[in-house]
């Protein structure tokens, strides 16, 4: 991952070469985020009017822990859909609410500090803060479902909508299938064919994403974190989290420094 504080003209020069990677430009003073769509060749003139800010570029494989990303393709990752927005010119502009700007500022500062000092565990710490930013970004965009519908995937849009809305409660494949009006078996086949993952795996990932945010951003007990992501058994939650991240919830929480 790279975090740069260039002038807008510098970002424009580099943009011609970053179209295969997620990239965003954050303007702290204005609370604005500009998302560069993947697969787009961006012209330097598009950035001429931007104020001084922070450019962030990252390899999506970083979200897979130690390089072995579980995603069949980064384009299927729910937190990365904002980078596939399809807006004219390849740029999507979003406004960060005033109440959330300190979260953005803190996460970016933490990433910069970790990349500068490179102390033991810095890679995991950077991933944790990056994940928190991507969750914030996805909530701002509110367009994961819209992107799926625009790309001709209304069923997947419905599935992700149900998972996002109900991940904090007991939720099974059967529940999701009932909401979208399909049999569990048929839904499993379609979702696996189109995303490379099962509905249950997507439910788990959504819960793990929320758990990561709660572990980094709050001091809630692990059992309470488990409850808030729809898992009543703290022991099962810890095993699930450890299997997904290679470390326990408590160890994950201890990795990022407090800011």
Angle formed at CA 15 by CA 9 and CA 18, multiple of 5 degrees: 155
Helix residue ranges, H only, 118-198:
122-141, 144-150, 154-166, 173-180, 184-195
Q: What share of the chain is helix, strand, coil (3-state, %, to 5)?
A: 60, 10, 30
Give the chain's end-to-end CA distance (angstroms, integer): 20
Q: Which residues contact 218 (CB under 8 A, 6 or more apart)?
A: 225
Residue 242 has pLDDT above 60, yes or no: yes
Domain formed by 146-254, architecture: Orthogonal Bundle (1.10)
Q: For residue range 132-174, list pLDDT tens digits in order.
A: 888 888 778 765 556 555 555 678 878 888 998 999 999 999 9
Evaluate whether 198 touches 192 at the Cβ level (below 8 Å): yes
Euclidean distance between CA atoms 95 and 221, whole angstroms? 32
Contact 144, 78 (CB under 8 A): yes
Domain residue limits, the chain: 2-141, 146-254
Q: Give dist(CA 134, CA 128) in Å, integer.
A: 10
Over residues 45-86, the pLDDT tens digits come to: 555 455 578 888 887 766 654 433 333 345 556 677 677 655
């Amino acid at each position: 991952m790279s975090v740069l504080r260039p002038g807008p003209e510098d970002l424009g020069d580099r943009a011609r070469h970053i179209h295969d990677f997620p990239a965003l430009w954050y303007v702290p003073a204005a609370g604005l985020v500009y998302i560069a769509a993947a697969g787009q060749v961006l012209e330097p003139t598009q950035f001429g009017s931007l104020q001084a800010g922070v450019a962030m570029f990252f390899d999506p494989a970083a979200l897979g822990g130690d390089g072995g990303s579980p995603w069949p393709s980064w384009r299927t990752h729910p937190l990365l859909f904002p980078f596939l927005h399809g807006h004219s010119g390849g740029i999507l502009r979003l406004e960060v609410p005033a109440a959330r700007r300190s979260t953005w500022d803190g996460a970016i500062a933490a990433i910069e500090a970790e990349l500068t000092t490179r102390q033991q565990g810095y890679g995991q710490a950077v991933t944790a803060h990056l994940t928190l930013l991507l969750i914030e970004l996805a909530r701002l965009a509110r367009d994961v479902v819209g992107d799926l519908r625009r790309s001709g995937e209304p069923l997947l849009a419905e599935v992700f909508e149900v998972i996002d809305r109900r991940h904090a409660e007991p939720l099974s494949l059967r529940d999701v299938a009932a909401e979208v009006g399909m049999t569990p078996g048929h839904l499993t086949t379609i979702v696996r064919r189109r995303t490379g993952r099962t509905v249950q795996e997507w439910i788990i990932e959504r819960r793990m994403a929320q758990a990561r945010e709660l572990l980094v951003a709050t001091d809630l007990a692990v059992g309470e974190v488990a409850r808030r992501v729809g898992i009543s058994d703290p022991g099962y939650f810890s095993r699930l989290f450890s299997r997904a991240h290679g470390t326990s919830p408590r160890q994950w929480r201890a990795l990022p420094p407090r800011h």
